């Protein structure tokens, strides 16, 4: 979808896989945000801690990709994980983002609030890992809720401990990446550990929040029956909070970025799942009673 309101950015998940989107994602961008001026390094660190500024990779307006309705998705910079299939390695380092004031972010949400309400959409914070900048994101969510705007957090949950219960109050929906059900596979795929994701999902469920789980299907990496079964078992612990599971086919849209950044790309020859494999995994989740897309 083309938009005159801002540039598209690539996204770590795999929903944006049509040709039109690809041509847009290569642009990337941060149009419409002014950087704060006159802040030295110490000022910036202080402002980052309080949430007066956040480091942002890019933003876009999309429909039915990062939550319900038409949404503004803000891709925050910085991520502690290093997923083998990451579509956005250029979001890994926070310092590579652009500092944006909280005021500018709130103004942007305010500008689109009528559109969000008309489409049952809202604001989504994604990344990178949006929970690396909890003060900025949670204050923006608070402002959005005060405007009556739906809020969505797209996260791996790895930094769930950065979010207080009070911060959770302002989240309506979480897109939670459960990257693997098996601990060793999770480590191999992401470089991190699995338990924080489970803990965060369970906290969300307890707090009465809605969850959409995302699982990236990579043949030979995340696709074993045992691994999928363990993902399903984790999802069961989220109870009624879990509305559905998105099984996202691995694709190679991120490969050019790895090349441009001269990072060794471990999935160079990966072709992505066949229709049969996808059907098997979908059926596995459905056998647990989940709605699967």
Binding site for ligand SF4 (CB under 6 A): 12, 79, 81-83, 86, 88, 91, 127-129, 156, 190
Please give the Cα distance from 93 to 143 (Å, whole number): 26
- Least Å from the CB of residue 118 to ligand SF4: 30
Strands of the sheet containing 150-155, edge to edge, are 98-101, 53-63, 70-76, 122-126, 150-155, 173-177, 210-217, 242-249
- Least Å from the CB of residue 83 to ligand SF4: 3
DSSP 106-148: HHHHHHHHHHHHHHT-EEEEESS-GGGSHHHHHHHHHHHHHTT
- Least Å from the CB of residue 35 to ligand SF4: 22
Residue closer to ligand SF4, measured from CB, 216 or 242? 216
Helix or strand (DSSP H, E) at 186 = helix 183-190
Residue closer to ligand SF4, measured from CB, 88 or 101? 88
Contacts of 267 (CB under 8 A, 6+ apart): 84, 85, 218, 221, 250, 252, 255
Residue closer to ligand SF4, measured from CB, 138 or 155? 155
- Tokens 């890992």 identify what position? 129
Residue closer to ligand SF4, measured from CB, 9 or 88? 88
- Least Å from the CB of residue 9 to ligand SF4: 11
Residue closer to ligand SF4, measured from CB, 91 or 180? 91
- Least Å from the CB of residue 107 to ligand SF4: 26
Please give the Cα distance from 222 to 215 (Å, whole number): 9
Q: Can you say how many angstroms the Cα of residue 276 is from the centroid of all Cα atoms in its chain?
A: 27
Q: Pairing between strand 70-76 and 53-63?
A: antiparallel
| Residue 25 three-state SS | helix
242: left (phi over 0), alpha (psi -120 to 50) or beta: beta
Residue closer to ligand SF4, measured from CB, 36 or 219? 219
Residue closer to ligand SF4, measured from CB, 21 or 250? 250
- Least Å from the CB of residue 97 to ligand SF4: 12
- Least Å from the CB of residue 43 to ligand SF4: 27
Residue closer to ligand SF4, measured from CB, 24 or 77? 77
- Least Å from the CB of residue 186 to ligand SF4: 11
Convert 202-260 into a string of H (helix), E (strand) and C (coil). HHHHHCCCEEEEEEEECCCCCCCHHHHHHHHHHHHCCHHHEEEEEEEECCCCCHHHHHH
């Amino acid at each position: 979808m083309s938009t005159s309101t801002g540039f598209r950015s690539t996204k770590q998940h795999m929903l944006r896989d049509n040709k039109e989107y690809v041509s847009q994602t290569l642009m990337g961008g941060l149009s419409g945000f002014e950087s704060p001026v006159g802040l030295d390094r110490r000022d910036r660190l202080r402002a980052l801690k309080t949430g007066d500024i956040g480091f942002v990779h890019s933003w876009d307006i999309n429909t039915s990709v990062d939550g319900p309705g038409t949404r503004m998705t803000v891709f925050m910079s910085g991520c502690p994980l290093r997923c083998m299939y990451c579509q956005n390695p250029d979001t890994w380092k926070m310092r590579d983002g652009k500092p944006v004031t909280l005021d500018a972010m709130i103004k942007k949400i305010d500008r689109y609030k009528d559109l969000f309400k008309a489409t049952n959409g809202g604001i989504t914070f994604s990344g990178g890992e949006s929970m690396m900048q909890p003060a900025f994101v949670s204050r923006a969510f608070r402002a959005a809720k005060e405007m009556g705007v739906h809020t969505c957090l797209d996260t791996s949950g790895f930094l769930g401990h950065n979010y207080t219960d009070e911060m959770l109050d302002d989240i309506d929906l979480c897109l939670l990446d459960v990257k693997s059900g098996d601990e060793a596979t999770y480590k191999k795929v992401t470089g991190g550990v699995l338990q924080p994701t489970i803990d965060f999902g369970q906290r969300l469920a307890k707090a009465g929040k809605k969850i959409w789980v995302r699982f990236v299907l990579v043949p030979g990496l995340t696709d074993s029956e045992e691994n999928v079964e363990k993902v399903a078992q984790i999802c069961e612990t989220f109870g009624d909070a879990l509305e559905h599971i998105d099984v996202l086919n691995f694709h190679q849209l991120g490969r050019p970025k790895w090349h441009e950044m001269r990072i060794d790309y471990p999935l160079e020859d990966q072709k992505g799942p066949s229709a049969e494999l996808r059907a098997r995994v979908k059926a596995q989740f459905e056998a647990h009673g989940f709605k699967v897309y």
